[in-house]
């Protein structure tokens, strides 16, 4: 009996089986296809309903807990006149939905990814102090949803927001402002939905955050639950503490105002007769200071209280206006001095004419009368000497001795102004900076 043919057929069958087994072993599993199958399975129309919220912790009927964290990518503008700020951030929410559990194929499927938020239940969170906002869709929508094997859901999206920021500008520009980012539930009360900050580091800020006129000093997370007629709603907030950069205002406002005030004092050193020079200098500095003040107020909201910059510009404007009024006083005093000199000159001329008339009368009298008059004159001289002996000249202090060097009142006014204006301005600077800097430190505490 010939067994060669069955043996060859058996060997061929074994070889074919082994080759097919090797191909099956070396073949790779298509996990993307597995993801599709799992998504179709857990999100099927008869299995999952996105309108129903997840159950509470450990499957209880308690509220669904949503953990939130933020990543602040940039803060673009902080507007004083509109009292708002713009921020771009990555917003993340994470919660447990046990209906979305799936088999991870021995740890080979770490998570499932979705790009359509309407396929799963989403918390109805909104930003309560938002003015404007938009999503980012370049090149694709910047949003994703990750579903983990244990049912955890991670929702992440990049958004840009313009948020209101009520500011207190009493210390402007030496102030610090606190701007908030508030997030709350719109329809679900705390009986159904609770927002919590993620443990560890709930808020992150990009490194090397640069703002044009502010510095982000610190940020604080807190809770701000609100109660209304319809119930209590969960709320979270982030307080961003901004400190205004003072160097910009020192260069653009404070130093130019000081220079204008000092320039207005130049008129004190000009001659009293240089009327066009002193008037043009005073009017020019006054108009420049007024323009500076109006430009500052144009960049600020019309608040009802007095700001620190209002005190500064108001006092500087008063000093410039005072220098202009000082010249008006000097001009009046100069004309008064001229009138007084003319009156003295006229009086001296009249006295000289009267003395000449008296001398001519004495020459016309006879000698007897002259000899009779001599004792009387001599007696009067003796009395004057006695008075001079008993009367002591009044003592003059240093100020009177110094002021006696300037005979006219107009010159004295200029000299006094040269000392008084800088001294009062220096005292004002001392009081201004000590008051507002110390008040800033107290408010910071």
CATH code assigned to 34-244: 2.70.170.10
Domains 34-244 and 246-337+405-444 share a fold: no
Higher pLDDT pick, 435 / 332: 435
User: Which residue is listed with tokens 């200098």?
Assistant: 281
Q: Which residues, including other chains, have CB under 8 Å from residue 420's CB and lie 6 or more apart?
A: none
Predicted pLDDT at 382: 54
Domain ranges of the chain: 34-244, 246-337+405-444
**Residue 415, by phi and psi: left (phi above 0), alpha (psi -120 to 50) or beta?**
alpha
Span 18-31, average pLDDT: 51
Span 163-176, average pLDDT: 93
Span 235-255, average pLDDT: 93
Contact indicator for 235, 267 with CB cutoff of 8 Å: no
Structure tokens of 29? 């599993």
Cα dihedral angle (85, 90, 96, 102), rounded to 10 degrees? 160
Residue 68: phi and psi, rounded to 5, are: -125, 140
**Per-residue confidence band for 234, with pLDDT thresholds at 50, 70 and 90:** very high
Structure tokens of 314? 């108001």
User: At the topology level of CATH, where does 246-337+405-444 sit?
Assistant: Methane Monooxygenase Hydroxylase; Chain G, domain 1 (1.20.58)
Q: Is 4 a residue whose pLDDT tops 90?
A: no
Contact indicator for 410, 337 with CB cutoff of 8 Å: yes
Span 111-117, average pLDDT: 86
Cα dihedral angle (397, 402, 407, 408), rounded to 10 degrees? -100
pTM, two decimal places? 0.73
Please give the mean pLDDT across all residues of the chain.
Answer: 82
Q: Is 92 a residue whose pLDDT tops 90?
A: yes
Identify which of 10-24, 364-378, 422-436 has the greatest average pLDDT: 422-436
Chain segment 302-355, per-residue pLDDT in tens? 888 999 999 999 999 999 999 999 888 888 877 776 766 667 677 777 777 777
């Amino acid at each position: 009996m010939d067994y060669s043919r069955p043996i060859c057929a058996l060997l061929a069958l074994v070889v074919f089986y082994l080759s097919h087994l090797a191909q099956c072993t070396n073949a790779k599993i298509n996990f993307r296809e597995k993801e599709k199958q799992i998504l179709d399975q857990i999100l099927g129309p008869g299995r999952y309903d996105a309108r129903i919220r997840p159950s509470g912790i450990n499957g209880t009927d308690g509220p669904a807990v949503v953990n939130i964290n933020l990543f602040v990518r940039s803060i673009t503008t902080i507007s004083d006149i509109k009292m708002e700020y713009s921020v771009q951030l990555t917003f993340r929410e994470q919660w447990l939905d046990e209906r979305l559990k799936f088999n991870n194929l021995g740890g080979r499927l770490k998570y499932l990814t979705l790009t359509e938020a309407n396929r799963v239940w989403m918390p109805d969170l909104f930003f309560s102090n938002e003015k404007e906002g938009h999503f980012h869709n370049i090149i694709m929508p910047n949003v994703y949803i990750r579903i983990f094997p244990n049912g955890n859901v991670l929702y992440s999206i990049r958004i840009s927001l313009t948020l209101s920021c009520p500011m207190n500008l009493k210390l402007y520009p030496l102030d610090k402002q606190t701007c908030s980012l508030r997030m709350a539930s719109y329809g679900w009360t705390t009986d159904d939905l609770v927002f919590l900050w993620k443990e560890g580091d709930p808020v992150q800020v990009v490194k090397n955050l640069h703002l044009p006129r502010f510095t982000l000093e610190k940020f604080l997370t807190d809770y701000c639950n609100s109660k209304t007629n319809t119930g209590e709603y969960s709320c979270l907030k982030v307080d961003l503490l901004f400190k205004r950069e003072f160097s910009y205002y020192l260069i653009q406002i404070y130093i130019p105002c000081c220079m204008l005030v000092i320039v207005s004092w130049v008129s004190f050193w000009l001659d009293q007769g240089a009327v066009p020079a002193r008037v043009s200098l005073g009017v020019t500095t006054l108009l420049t200071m007024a323009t500076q003040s109006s430009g500052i107020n144009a960049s600020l909201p019309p608040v009802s209280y007095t700001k620190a910059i209002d005190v500064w510009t108001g006092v500087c404007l008063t000093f410039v206006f005072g220098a202009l009024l000082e010249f008006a006083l000097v001009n009046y005093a100069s004309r008064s001095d001229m009138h007084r000199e003319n009156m003295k000159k006229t009086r001296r001329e009249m006295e000289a004419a009267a003395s000449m008339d008296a001398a001519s009368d004495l020459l016309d009298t006879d000698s007897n009368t002259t000899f009779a008059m001599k004792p009387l004159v001599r007696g009067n001289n003796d009395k004057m000497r006695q008075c001079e002996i008993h009367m002591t000249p009044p003592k003059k202090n240093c100020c009177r001795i110094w002021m006696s060097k300037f005979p006219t009142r107009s010159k004295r006014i200029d000299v006094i102004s040269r000392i008084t204006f800088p001294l009062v301005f220096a005292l004002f600077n001392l009081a201004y900076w000590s008051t507002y800097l110390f008040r800033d430190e107290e408010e910071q505490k």
